Amino acid sequence: MNQQPKILLIYTGGTIGMRRDYTSGTLRPFDFQNVLDEIPELRLLHCDIEHVTIKTPIDSSNMHPSIWSELAGLIEMNYKIYDGFVILHGSDTMSYTASALSFMLQNLEKAVVLTGSQLPIGDLRTDAKENLITAIQIAALTNHGKPVVQEVCLYFEYKLYRGNRTTKISAEQFEAFNSPNYPPMIISGVHLEVQHGLLFRSNQNMPFKTYLSMECQVGILKLFPGITKDFVEAILLKSNLKGVIIESFGSGNMTTDSWFLELLEVTVKRGIPVVNVTQCSGGEVTMGVYDTSVALSRIGIISGKDITTEAALTKLMFLLANDPGNYNHLKARFEESLSGEIA
């Protein structure tokens, strides 16, 4: 008889573990042991579940790359001991954390499933129980003794998504996430319907490797009609800027005003990576389709293709910190898939 799978639950905070402060009416992170006591059903799962809490549980709006390092370090330390990992996380920045970890944890052969909820676990109508129970079941799934899921993913409201393909779309609905350019990999109905062909497999000859650094001197510039030169200058000419994501229009189009193109050119010449991602929630950047993006390829702007802004930002932070090289090296690395985040 095989042993039961061992799952490590990592608690970071978020609504799932919050309690209402009746004096102020606000929600605050709460002791995790009490959170677990709210779900006696966990004892019925055929898994050995242990848990650990990060140093200071937070509302995920306070998420920071230093906490991503703490999480990656926890997984590294416990990688051999557990068969899978579930991270309880606030939904607000869950897609950023899932994306960051998908780069920081390379050659994973086990599941790291992030989940959370829109209502606290103690609420009568909470979505926390289903999300947590199924996330644990997914992390524990095996096939011929090997974990079925071997990547960082996000489980919410009956769907398992590739983490670095997700984005938060609703502050209200239980269906809070979407993965506009990649279908769900598991759908939870009466059975767990696994789309095996969609699951990520890393290079199996390479050992699991953790990266703990991220470059924070990066930024996101969202274009809008009427954007001014001094506003763009304030960002692109910032002395310690290391990389920037530009959220462009449609299939990667930007204004062709000469001051704007000149600023882009100056930035690229300074060796600062400039990545083009679309503001649209679905579809991809294909520079050269319209006149308004022809100059961008010539300048050397990096194509984010169909990546989400969350994945683009964290990929840039990751590459700048861990894969040094010149502009062209970074461009080539950015435009290829590292963890299934890009087509």
Please give the residue ranges that form the binding site for ligand ASP (CB under 6 A).
13-15, 59-61, 90-92, 116, 118
Q: Which residue is nearest to ligand ASP (CB)?
A: 90
- Do residues 256 and 231 touch, judged by C-beta distance below 8 A? no
- Contact predicate 253/293, CB 8 Å: yes
The answer to whether 208 touches 79, Cβ cutoff 8 Å, is yes
Return phi, psi of residue 277, to 5°: -120, 155
Burial zone of 248 (CB within 10 Å; 0-12 exposed, 13-18 middle, 19+ buried) = buried
Alpha helices in 144-288 (DSSP H): 229-236, 258-269
Nearer to ligand ASP, 90 or 304 (CB): 90
In the complex with ligand ASP, the residue whose CB is nearer, 172 or 230, is: 172
Closest contact distance (angstroms) between CB of 161 and ligand ASP is 16
Q: Which C-beta is closer to ligand ASP: that of 59 or that of 83?
A: 59
Q: Which helix (H) or strand (E) holds 323?
A: none
At residue 44, what is the residue type? L
Query: Min. distance of Cβ 70 from ligand ASP in angstroms?
Result: 16
Give me Rg for the CA atoms of the chain: 21
CB of 122 to ligand ASP, least distance (A): 14
Whose CA is closest to 313, among 111, 107, 167, 110? Answer: 167
* Smallest gap from residue 123 Cβ to ligand ASP (A): 12
Residues 15, 53, 97, 134: which is the catalytic one? 15
Reply yes or no on whether 314 is catalytic.
Answer: no
Nearer to ligand ASP, 5 or 14 (CB): 14
Active-site positions read 15
